[in-house]
Amino acid sequence: MKWDEFADWGAHISQWAARYHETLRDRPVRAQTKPGEIAALLAPTPPEGGEPMQAIMADFERVVMPGITHWQHPRFFAYFAANATAPSMLAEMLVAAIAPQCMLWQTSPAATEMEGVMIDWLRQGLGLPEGMSGVIQDSASSATLSAVLTMREHALGFTGNKQGLSGQGRLRIYCSDQVHSSIDRAIWVAGIGQDNLVKIPSATDGTYGLDVATLAAKIAEDRAAGHVPAGIIAATGGTGIGACDDLQTIANVAEAEGLYTHLDAAWAGSAMICPELRDPIWHGAGRFDSIVFNPHKWLGAQFDCSVQFLRDPSLQRATLQIDPEYLKTSGAEVTNYSEWTIPLGRRFRALKLWFLIRSYGLEGLRVRIRNHVAWARELCEVIRAWDGFEIVTEPMLSLFSFRAPGDDAAQQRLVDALNDDGRIYVTQGVQGGRRMIRFQVGQFETTREDVMLAGQVIAEVAARHAADGT
């Protein structure tokens, strides 16, 4: 492709993108395709000769678009939102054009230096203590894995990478029963084993935090049994119901026991730019050794962008740094972020944060988050008043869950019917052994009308179900 042709197509695609976003409300949120339908429309063998871009774009519309679930749809109330705001998207276009590889300072000085400054902007934005630094990763899963490996090495006096884990004693890591599955996977991959992830029961009301007395007792029990307690993982805003642990008391236990700590705030971290939302769930966050939050969820940075704050990055570097000859650079002392993470190659993710934060300002971002929280609470009260409906978990920031009349199977049928209807998209969960419907507000284009319309759609589809006797 010639570069002037590229420029024409680039302009065309920008136009396409703007129109797509302007007309999103007219599309069903969840893809309405059946498994295999899209694959059947793709050529089974690769073309031998090149095809014109015209034909490729036409097929994109015909084949791909019907199979897209629209994460940027204003009535996306499932999972957690993954906002791709316009300024962050423009930054990603520039990154796509430059295509830098940011593993070392030398391979992309601007990316490295901007990353350090963006981490510090966000540290200030989230009210974390001065001196905390950090690194941008692809996902919370990667950041959590890095933290668990650091916990492991810290507990083993940094001998695990060399000697392996056999004969080292049973490493034990503690968390609540509300943590995200990425914690379990990090434990598997780190060689610690699911049986050594000690899940402490969480409270069944309030902020659903883990029981700290049980945590302390488990650690004592493990020490008495000759095991090796290695770390504690806390959550601010768990995925299922938004569970928040009491960070101060957990940090007290960790300090007394000399344990490394990691805090998963992948979703709720973004809301911590609003000082009034920090009370009390964020108290003590600055005492954690490692904190992960995903600006690619609620803050508006295009996927992928996961920030890991670190109190003492030298511990994570001592765990992950490796310096083969071909990566050595001469000259002044610099930061090479690939020494802080598992992948060597790194994208230029700081640019979209810079575009995003400058374009909205922190206050512009706060307005959206505050609206989402207020509208979720408003809809929760509407649903609470309906006959036969029940609020299962109260709003935690902008997430709550409810049950419609009927048994567990009826809840799932209602979720499926709502998503087949297409006007909104929601997902299910389980709380206290009972199936419920999960509802979160977090998409940047969502209006109060969209949230209230969701209420109407739920009432309408549920009533239709009741009438059908299903």
Ligand X SMILES: *Cc1c(COP(=O)(O)O)cnc(C)c1O
Nearer to ligand X, 235 or 274 (CB): 235
Cβ atoms 375, 448 nearer than 8 A: yes
Determine the interface stretch with ligand X among 51-59, 263-271, 331-339, 361-369 (rule: CB under 6 A).
263-271
Nearer to ligand X, 156 or 397 (CB): 397
178 belongs to the binding site for ligand X (CB under 6 A): no
207 belongs to the binding site for ligand X (CB under 6 A): no
Q: Is the dihedral of CA 107, 134, 268, 358 positive or negative?
A: negative
Position 187, amino acid: I
CA dist., res. 444 & res. 84, Å (int): 9
Residues 63-82 that bind ligand X (CB under 6 A): 80
Determine the interface stretch with ligand X among 111-119, 134-142, 274-282, 406-414 (rule: CB under 6 A).
134-142
180 belongs to the binding site for ligand X (CB under 6 A): yes
Distance of CA 231 to the CA centre of its chain: 22
Residue 236, classed as helix, strand or coil, is strand
Determine the interface stretch with ligand X among 94-102, 119-127, 138-146, 356-364 (rule: CB under 6 A).
138-146
Determine the interface stretch with ligand X among 91-99, 111-119, 152-160, 261-269 (rule: CB under 6 A).
261-269
438-461 burial, b if ≥16 CB within 10 A, otherwise e? bbbbbbbbbeeebbebbbebbeeb
Shortest Å, Cβ 353 to ligand X: 15
CA dihedral 308, 264, 197, 400 (to 10 degrees): -160
Determine the interface stretch with ligand X among 201-209, 262-270, 325-333, 459-467 (rule: CB under 6 A).
262-270
Determine the interface stretch with ligand X among 23-31, 66-74, 137-145, 447-455 (rule: CB under 6 A).
137-145
Nearer to ligand X, 132 or 140 (CB): 140
Binding residues for ligand X, rule CB under 6 A, total 14
Q: Which of 153, 222, 245, 264 binds ligand X (CB under 6 A)?
A: 264
Residue 424, classed as helix, strand or coil, is coil
Residue 269: name the closest of 242, 313, 237, 243 by CA: 237
Name the E strands within 241-356. Answer: 260-264, 290-293, 306-310
CA dist., res. 439 & res. 79, Å (int): 8
CA atoms within 13 A on the CB side of 464: 11
366 belongs to the binding site for ligand X (CB under 6 A): no
**Backbone phi, then psi, for 293, in 5-degree steps?**
-145, 150
CA dist., res. 266 & res. 324, Å (int): 33
Nearer to ligand X, 372 or 413 (CB): 372
341 belongs to the binding site for ligand X (CB under 6 A): no
Q: Which of 140, 273, 315, 451 binds ligand X (CB under 6 A)?
A: 140
Nearer to ligand X, 347 or 423 (CB): 347
Determine the interface stretch with ligand X among 139-147, 335-343, 368-376, 400-408 (rule: CB under 6 A).
139-147
Q: Is the dihedral of CA 278, 284, 287, 292 positive or negative?
A: negative
**Backbone phi, then psi, for 175, in 5-degree steps?**
-160, 180
Residues 145-164 that bind ligand X (CB under 6 A): none
- The token duo for 339 is 């020494």
Interior angle at CA 300, CA 105 and CA 116, nearest 5: 20
Shortest Å, Cβ 425 to ligand X: 16
Nearer to ligand X, 73 or 262 (CB): 262
Interior angle at CA 77, CA 75 and CA 78, nearest 5: 135
x/- mask, ligand X, residues 274-303, rule CB under 6 A, reads --------------------x---------
Q: What letter does residue 233 receive in the DSSP assignment?
A: E
Residues 6 or more apart in contact with residue 26 via CB below 8 angstroms: none
Q: Which of 85, 146, 182, 261 binds ligand X (CB under 6 A)?
A: 182
- End-to-end Cα separation, the chain, in angstroms: 56
Nearer to ligand X, 175 or 230 (CB): 175
Shortest Å, Cβ 264 to ligand X: 5
Shortest Å, Cβ 301 to ligand X: 12
Shortest Å, Cβ 273 to ligand X: 17
Q: Which of 267, 337, 355, 400 binds ligand X (CB under 6 A)?
A: 267
Q: Which of 244, 266, 274, 307 binds ligand X (CB under 6 A)?
A: 266
Residue 395, classed as helix, strand or coil, is strand
- The token duo for 9 is 């197509």
Residues 220-249 that bind ligand X (CB under 6 A): 237-239
Residues 6 or more apart in contact with residue 122 via CB below 8 angstroms: 295, 307, 309, 353
Name the site residues for ligand X (rule: CB under 6 A). Answer: 80, 139-141, 180, 182, 237-239, 264, 266-267, 294, 306
